[in-house]
Structures are given as structure tokens and as C-alpha cells.
Structure 1
Amino acid sequence: MTTPTTVAAVEVTGLGVTLGGAHILTGVDLTVRTGEWVTVIGPNGAGKSTLLRAVGGLLPASTGAVSLFGTPIARLRRRDRARTVATVPQSPVVPAGMAVLDYVLLGRTPYVPPLGRESAADLAVAYDVLDRLDLTGFAARALATLSGGERQRVFLARALAQGAPLLLLDEPTSALDIGHQQEVLELVDQLRADHGLTVLATMHDLSVAGEYADRMVLVAAGAVVADGPPRTVLTDELLGTHYRARVRVIEGEHGPLVVPVRTRRAVD
């Protein structure tokens, strides 16, 4: 699917989301340009995952609107939406007994005709993604037999196999060791450079988030409280106020690094 470069990949205006009578998001405005990497940060319960789910069309908005590449999300048919946006949630539902290759091939569903089967091209895409994520040797393995980090890479593989121009990543590195964190994020960044992929992510590791994001959005209590380049959002003052944490932000090679600071040392 080709996407125009003159319109934003994501346009969120006055978004409100209410779940179980509780206002999770209120009046959120967010624009993500085509080809941009934007990472949403914020304390637990701030509404980060809810925002991603609303952008992906998985949650209805109580107020406001969401558009993807200039089209209101409510006007996108399910198959068209699946060709436009791919999501890696924090806790994907995995069918019992499913093998890794079969799970990754689910990402090709939007391109398979009704009552049809995956083509040779679909299989080629799946194997290419497995290879890029160092998962080729796991193709025949049941997902349930993999470690948490291995499963996390399989979840990303399915999303990448989907071939959508917009990728939503909800804590994509939470189960990965530092080496695989770098591999996954570098791969996503390379795909962004090669294919104009747009990335909207949530991340808890602020230092890693600041190294990869073009822009960061700080959400607290369901509202955007800061939006800008990492160096303007990752500050001692903002993080101290909204995370209630003592930190020191230092300059890194690719972005600011956030270091926790102990309030006091224990006395022997």
C-alpha cells in the first residue's frame, strides 16, 4: 500500500477514551509525521498503552478523532486497516500449540484471498523476517516452548511480516536482554530508513527510548504534558515531577541518558 508523504501518518485530535466509567485519556493531541519515530513515555497507569490501542483502532474513542495517513480510522475497513497499521501489544494472544512460522504467517492474512492460502511470496516474506530477527531455527517450534525474549521477537516478526507502513510497538523490548534489545531496535530503525516505516512506540527504558526516538511524548494522568525532541522531554525537572523519581540526565552519544539517583545510602 502506498502512502502519501504530504499528510501525517497519525493525526490524533482531542482524543478521549473512557473504560469502565474511568477517563483514561482526555483531550490528547498527537501528530506523527510519515517516517518519524515517536516514543510515548510516562509513569505506570498514565494511558500509554490505551493511546496506542486507540490509534490502532482496537479501542473506540469517547471524544475526538484518529486519522491514519489522512483517512479517519472509522472509515477504514478491517482488511485495509490491517494493511495500514501493525501492532505489537504487550501481551499478545497466542493460539495453543501454534508453531512460530504459522504465527508469523498470520501477519500476511490481510493479503490472502478469502478461503485462500498463503502464497510463495508470503512465505518468502515470513522467512526473511525470521532471518532478520535470528529466528530461522525456531520456525517449526511451538511458541509455548520459547523463552519470553524469543517470543517477544516472534511477536515483532509477525508485525513486520504484515508489511504495514505504520508500526505500533507497546513495550517491544520489555522481555529482551540488552543484546537483543539493540538488535530489535536497530532492525526497526533500519526498516524505517529503507522503507519509510513510521514508528509509534511506548517504552519504559528512558535511556534506550531517547537514543532511537526522533521525538518523545510524555503522558501523565491521561494527558500530554510534554512533546518534543528527547533532550527537551528527558529533563531532571519533568521526570522528577511526573515520575516522582530522583534522576540525573546526562548527555549521551545518540541522546540523553537517564540515571537513577539514590536518595540516601543505607547505614551499616
Structure 2
Amino acid sequence: MSAVSVVSAVEVRDLRVELGGAPILDGVDLTVAPGEWVTVIGPNGAGKSTLLRAIGGLVTGIGSICLLGTPAAKLRRRDRARMVATVTQSPVVPPGMAVVDYVLLGRTPYIPPLGRESDADLAAVREVLDRLDLSGFADRELATLSGGERQRVFLARALAQGATVLLLDEPTSALDIGHQQEVLELVDQLRHDHGLTVLATMHDLSIAGEYADRMVLLADGRVAAAGHPREVLTEQLLARYYRARVRVVDGEHGPLVVPVRAAGTRVRSAPS
């Protein structure tokens, strides 16, 4: 019997992106299997956000991107939006917009031009609000919510798209550690319950390794390392590419990264 080939959720080959004439990504290869969680890490300026924006169709580049086996270049914008949903670092929220109206924007790929939302669209929004325990906030202005609550609303809009691939650009960057854990646990639960594929970028290495199935380390627009979190989050790699002094501790769900001060560092007392 011949082996059954599995179509990748995301497949990127030799991706090159320039912005303002400056090279941002230079020959990046990336494959994400259906249902997998892959986290992209790297120092500032490595190209992490640009990679997600290219996959989401927000920037163009040279190379190939396939989504669920279809070349992205052949997809209409609406069809692409039904496959891939993006949560950016700082989503733009119109002033005064209520939670339910913001989440309803996720149904845009299904609403005909100059048309209105259908009963099916409204039902999809209600289901997502219930799933993320947001029904009680439906009529609240988004600006009045806490950071963790807003992040759940941003996820709700993405889920309302009905896409199977979630692109999360620094989903916990503005949250305290408690809300970081809350959001990441929620994403992981949704992934397992609904077969979602997650491609995320994260700065916080202290918890990134606990959630990803695989990690990709970008540096200077190239893939410097890829593999299981224990293969990527090593003291040697983090010292080389982040210029950081850390200790990597093996935790129950993955490696934990702990920053450490240089030996002999002392805090000088303020002059009296």
C-alpha cells in the first residue's frame, strides 16, 4: 500500500520579502501540519511579523506560499480569509465599537458586497461569543474591557471567520503573566477541540516553549534553527542570536527560559 500524503496547512518555500528596499526575509522555508502549533521566535528585526503578514496576504514577496494545498497566489482575497485568520499585535478598533459588532467583522468574507449579514452570520458570532465566555460583554464597548478580555475578543473575531489556520502575532505582548496564560490555554483548548492550526510569534520565551509543538528561530531574515522546543530553546542558541544570558530548565510541558545576570554584576548605590 502506498503512503497517504498529508497536505500541509501552511507551506512556505524560499520566501523573500523586501520593505522599502531593505531585505526582511531571505529564503525562508516553513511547513506547518494541520492541527500543529508552531511558534516563531527571534530577536527584534528578525522578520517574525513580516513572515506572518506575508502568509496572511498583507505583504507580498518572492517565493511560494501554499495554504491547505492551494497556492496562495491563486486564491481570491475572500477565499484566503476563509482559510486564514490573523490576530495582529495592535488591532485597529473603531472608536465606540461594541464587542458584538467587532466580532461580526470576522464574517466579512461571507457577506456579499453591499449586502448585510445573514442569520447564519449572526448565529456564528453568538456561538463564538458563547465559546469564549464573552456573551456578557456583547454590548460593551471594546475600549472598556481589560487587556485579557480584549485579547479574547480579538480571538473571537478571528474564530468568527471560520478559518482553520490562526496566525497570532505576539498574542500576549500587552498582557500580564496571568492573562498570558489564560489566552494561551484558551488557544490551545480551541486548537484541540476544533482542529485549528496555530502559527504564532512570541517574544516571551519563558512560556513560549510550553505551548508549541515545534519552534522556528529567525535571525536576520533567515531560519537559524527549527525543531522541537527543546532543540531550539537552548542556552547556546539564545546566547548566540539574542546575546542573552539565560538558564533553560526542563519543565513538565517544555523548556522554561530564565534570564540570569552576569557573574559579578553589582548594583551601585545612589550617591548620598
Task: Give the TM-score normalised by the residue count of structure 1.
Answer: 0.93
1:163–1:5 Cα change, 3 Å: farther
The aligned counterpart of 2:247 is 248
The aligned counterpart of 2:23 is 23
1:200-244 CA distance string (max 9 Å, x none): 000111122111100000001111100000000000000011011
- Structure 2, unpaired ranges of 5+: none
1:207–1:132 Cα change, 3 Å: farther
1:78-121 CA distance string (max 9 Å, x none): 11001000000112122232211000011112222333332333
- For structure 1, which segment, 78-87 or 112-121, has the greater mean C-alpha deviation from structure 2 after superposition? 112-121
Task: Give the TM-score normalised by the residue count of structure 2.
Answer: 0.92
1:161-215 CA distance string (max 9 Å, x none): 1110110000111122333322222222122212221110001111221111000
Q: Percent identity?
A: 78
- Asked if structure 2 preserves the Cα contact closer than 8 Å seen for 1:9 and 1:198, the reply is yes
* CA–CA distance in structure 1, aligned partners of residues 128 and 203 of structure 2: 25
Pairing 1:188-207 to 2, within 5 Å after superposition:
188-207=187-206
Pairing 1:116-135 to 2, within 5 Å after superposition:
116-135=115-134
The aligned counterpart of 1:113 is 112
**In the alignment, is residue 35 of structure 1 matched against residue 48 of structure 2?**
no
Report SS of the residue matched to 1:212: coil
Supply the AA of the counterpart residue of 1:208: I
- Asked if structure 2 preserves the Cα contact closer than 8 Å seen for 1:5 and 1:34, the reply is no
- Structure 1, unpaired ranges of 5+: none
1:146–1:5 Cα change, 3 Å: farther
Report SS of the residue matched to 1:211: coil
Root mean square deviation, CA, Å: 1.7
The aligned counterpart of 2:14 is 14
Larger Rg: 2
* CA–CA distance in structure 2, aligned partners of residues 238 and 145 of structure 1: 41
* CA–CA distance in structure 2, aligned partners of residues 127 and 174 of structure 1: 27
After TM superposition, what 4+ stretches of structure 1 lie above 4 angstroms from structure 2? none
1:178–1:124 Cα change, 3 Å: farther
- Asked if structure 2 preserves the Cα contact closer than 8 Å seen for 1:127 and 1:136, the reply is yes
* CA–CA distance in structure 1, aligned partners of residues 67 and 5 of structure 2: 12
* CA–CA distance in structure 1, aligned partners of residues 161 and 128 of structure 2: 10
* CA–CA distance in structure 1, aligned partners of residues 53 and 6 of structure 2: 25
* CA–CA distance in structure 2, aligned partners of residues 35 and 5 of structure 1: 15
> Offset at 1:250?
0.4
1:178–1:120 Cα change, 3 Å: farther
* CA–CA distance in structure 1, aligned partners of residues 136 and 9 of structure 2: 35
* CA–CA distance in structure 1, aligned partners of residues 236 and 145 of structure 2: 41
1:109–1:150 Cα change, 3 Å: same
The aligned counterpart of 1:174 is 173
Pairing 1:58-97 to 2, within 5 Å after superposition:
58-61=58-61, 63-97=62-96
* CA–CA distance in structure 2, aligned partners of residues 203 and 237 of structure 1: 19
- Asked if structure 2 preserves the Cα contact closer than 8 Å seen for 1:133 and 1:184, the reply is no
